[in-house]
């Protein structure tokens, strides 16, 4: 017991002197170094104690917490020219990040001291990683109005037992650049106030239990990332998404948005990543406005019953590297231009639709592809994928009962064709594929 405490002490002492959290600045040789105000020092102890009471924080870190801070507590010393007697905590990082980045660890019975939101007027970054994973913890019922007046990043990641409505948390964050709340127990609606925080560059609220809808505003002139994926959002996605003209990434996947995919999405001329998959968008076909989004690199619409045919829009979208159009009720032929235009394609999923006709021979040109999934359609004719084309690629074709695979490595037998259903699944290796084919042919004879 004593040894383990000593070890802990040594560890913490070592960590507390290790970079990058060393802060040493000789301000002025005559004046005493500026100090963390006692109330802020006390608040740090209280917060650390609330997340892990097993560590004797006051004993291990008895001195000014800015002069010799535990990892995860960062202070800003003012410029040497500024005459001041106090320093302040500007960053708090709580919980596990990795074996290489040490933060104050949280215990399974971690709680959240409300002083966290009341006492740090100079806080610019608050990071809480894998801290609330055991006993259920709620956000405080209210958060003082002054919280976050200089906050730039608010990041809660993988705290599944931390619940509550985030409305109380979202204050007058005029400086907030990143709002990242991933994998927590947050619920309730997405506060409309978020869309008034004009400095925001990223809003990522994925894997919580948010409900209802949202409306975007044109006030967010700096927003590059909007990610509401894996929540319980419903209703129409707002046309006002089109006002977020600087967006590079839009991810609304795994919610229950319904109705039409808002045409406003087509106004996002800088968008590179669009994921609307696994919602309930329906019955309007693949949106043609995709053709007017020149920077698009990845587009995922799988799991929405959009129906219709795959439109001929690919000549305008040569930069695309990922297309996910699975389970969309798509009909008709696969356009040849998908094969001839998409030189940078690495991922294409058209599986589980009602596509018919031949696979365009141009698909044999998709050299950069690493995965092509055409399973469970009604494709016919010969698949234009040679053995050499398949090297290093996953090509999935099973579940197309009338599709023919012609193997160039097997000497052609008179009238011999091989049903694609033998080549199902994940055949990464051509050797394996060849063995399966040879066995199949032997059995057939």
d(CA 170, CA 168): 6
Can residue 107 be called a binding residue for ligand NAG (CB under 6 A)?
A: yes
Q: Is 419 in the site for ligand NAG (CB under 6 A)?
A: no
Strand 73-76 to strand 88-95: parallel, antiparallel, or no bridges (unpaired)?
Answer: antiparallel
How many Cβ atoms sit within 10 Å of the Cβ of residue 135? 11
Closest to ligand NAG by CB, 220 vs 290, is 220
Q: Does 174 bind ligand NAG (CB under 6 A)?
A: yes
Selected from 58, 193, 402, 444, the binder of ligand NAG by CB under 6 A is 402
Q: Which of 62, 134, 212, 392 binds ligand NAG (CB under 6 A)?
A: 212
> Who's near 201: CB < 8 A, 6+ residues apart?
177, 178, 222, 223, 224, 225
Residue 378 as a binder of ligand NAG (CB under 6 A): the answer is yes
- The binder of ligand NAG chosen from 13, 49, 68, 109 (CB under 6 A): 109
Residue span 36-75 as binding mask against ligand NAG, x where in contact by CB under 6 A, dash where not: -----------------xx---------------------
Cα–Cα distance measured from residue 295 to residue 39, given in angstroms and rounded to the nearest whole number:
51
In whole angstroms, give the CA distance from residue 355 to residue 397.
12
Distant-in-sequence, close-in-space partners of 313: CB < 8 Å, separation ≥ 6: 286, 288, 290, 291
Which range touches ligand NAG (CB under 6 A), out of 68-76, 211-219, 340-348, 415-423? 211-219
Tell the smallest beta-carbon distance from residue 205 to ligand NAG (Å): 14
Instruction: Say whether residue 215 binds ligand NAG (CB under 6 A).
Output: yes
Closest C-alpha among 150, 271, 238, 243 to residue 199? 150
Provide the minimum distance between the beta carbon of 238 and ligand NAG in the complex, in angstroms, as a whole number.
6
**How far apart are the C-alpha atoms of 23 and 293, rounded to whole Å?**
47
Residues 186-205, one symbol each (x = binds ligand NAG by CB under 6 A, - = not), give ------x-------------
Q: Is 356 in the site for ligand NAG (CB under 6 A)?
A: yes
Least distance in Å: CB of 236 to ligand NAG? Answer: 9
The residue assigned the tokens 């406005």 is 289
Number of residues in contact with ligand NAG, rule: CB under 6 A? Answer: 16
The DSSP output letter for 195 is: G
Write the DSSP string, 259-322: ESPPGGGGG-TT--EEE--SSEEBSS-S-GGGGG-TT--EEE-TTSB--SBPPS-GGG-TT--E
Q: Report, in Å, the least distance between residue 194 CB and ligand NAG.
A: 11
Rule CB under 6 A: which residues touch ligand NAG?
53-54, 107, 109, 149, 172, 174, 192, 212-215, 356, 378, 380, 402
């Amino acid at each position: 017991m004593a040894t383990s405490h000593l070890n802990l002490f040594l560890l913490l002492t070592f960590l507390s002197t290790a970079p990058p959290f060393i802060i040493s600045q000789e301000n002025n040789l005559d004046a005493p170094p500026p100090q963390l105000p006692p109330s802020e020092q006390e608040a740090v102890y209280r917060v650390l104690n609330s997340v892990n009471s097993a560590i004797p924080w006051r004993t291990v870190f008895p001195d000014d917490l800015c002069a010799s801070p535990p990892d995860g507590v960062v202070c800003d010393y003012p410029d040497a020219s500024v005459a001041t007697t106090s320093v302040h905590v500007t960053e708090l990082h709580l919980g596990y990040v990795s074996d290489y980045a040490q933060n104050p660890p949280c215990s399974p019975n971690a709680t959240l001291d409300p002083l966290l939101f009341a006492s740090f007027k100079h806080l610019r970054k608050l990071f809480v990683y894998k801290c609330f994973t055991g006993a259920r913890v709620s956000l405080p019922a209210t958060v003082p109005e002054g919280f976050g007046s200089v906050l730039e990043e608010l990041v809660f990641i993988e705290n599944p037992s931390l619940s509550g409505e985030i409305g109380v948390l979202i204050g007058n964050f005029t400086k907030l650049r990143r709002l990242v709340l991933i994998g927590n127990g947050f619920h309730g609606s997405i506060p409309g106030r978020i869309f008034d925080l004009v400095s925001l560059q990223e809003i990522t609220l994925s894997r919580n239990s948010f409900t209802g809808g949202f409306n975007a505003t044109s006030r967010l002139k700096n927003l590059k990332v909007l990610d509401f994926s894996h929540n319980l959002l419903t209703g129409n996605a707002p046309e006002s998404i089109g006002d977020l003209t600087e967006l590079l990434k839009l991810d609304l996947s795994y919610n229950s948005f319904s109705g039409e995919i808002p045409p406003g999405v087509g106004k996002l001329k800088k968008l590179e990543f669009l994921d609307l998959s696994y919602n309930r968008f329906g019955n309007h076909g693949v949106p043609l406005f995709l053709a007017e989004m020149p920077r698009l690199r990845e587009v995922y619409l799988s799991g929405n019953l959009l129906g219709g045919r795959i439109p001929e829009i690919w000549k305008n979208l040569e930069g695309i590297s990922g297309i996910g159009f699975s389970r969309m009720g798509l009909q008709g032929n696969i356009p040849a231009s998908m094969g001839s235009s998409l030189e940078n394609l690495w991922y294409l999923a058209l599986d589980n639709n009602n596509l018919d006709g031949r696979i365009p021979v141009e698909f044999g040109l998709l050299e950069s592809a690493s995965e092509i999934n055409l399973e469970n359609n009604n494709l016919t004719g010969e698949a234009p994928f040679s053995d050499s084309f398949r090297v290093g690629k996953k090509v999935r074709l099973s579940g197309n009962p009338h599709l023919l695979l012609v193997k160039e490595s097997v000497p052609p037998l008179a009238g011999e064709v091989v049903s694609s259903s033998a080549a199902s699944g994940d055949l990464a290796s051509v050797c394996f594929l060849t063995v399966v084919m040879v066995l199949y042919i032997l059995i057939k004879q």
